[in-house]
Amino acid sequence: MSKHLVDIDEDALRTARAKFGSETIKETVNRALRQAGGEHQRAVKRRLDLLAGADLAAREQAWR
């Protein structure tokens, strides 16, 4: 883990702390970052699942 000096929106921090029930800034920021990463992964998976289930024309017909 590394340290970073960043400006944090205090209102957003208060909101996130209340939502997560976290006690420290570190805990709040790390949980928010992990959650954001997970949401992206879930969105990608949903899109890939949609594509995998699509009824696509056979490859030999795709260019016609």
Q: What pLDDT score does 64 carry?
A: 61
Q: Where are the strands (E) in the chain, listed by range? A: none
pLDDT tens digits for range 18-38: 999 999 999 999 999 988 888
Decide: pTM greater than 0.95.
Answer: no
User: Which is more confident, 40 or 20?
Assistant: 20
Q: How far is CA 26 from CA 3, 7, 37, in A?
A: 10, 13, 17
Distance CA(40)–CA(33), nearest Å, equals 11
Return mean pLDDT, the chain: 88
Contact 13, 25 (CB under 8 A): yes
* 10: nearest Cα among 64, 53, 18: 18
On the question of pLDDT at 62 being above 70, the answer is no
Mean pLDDT in residue range 2-23: 95
Q: In the chain, where are the structural domains located?
A: 10-50
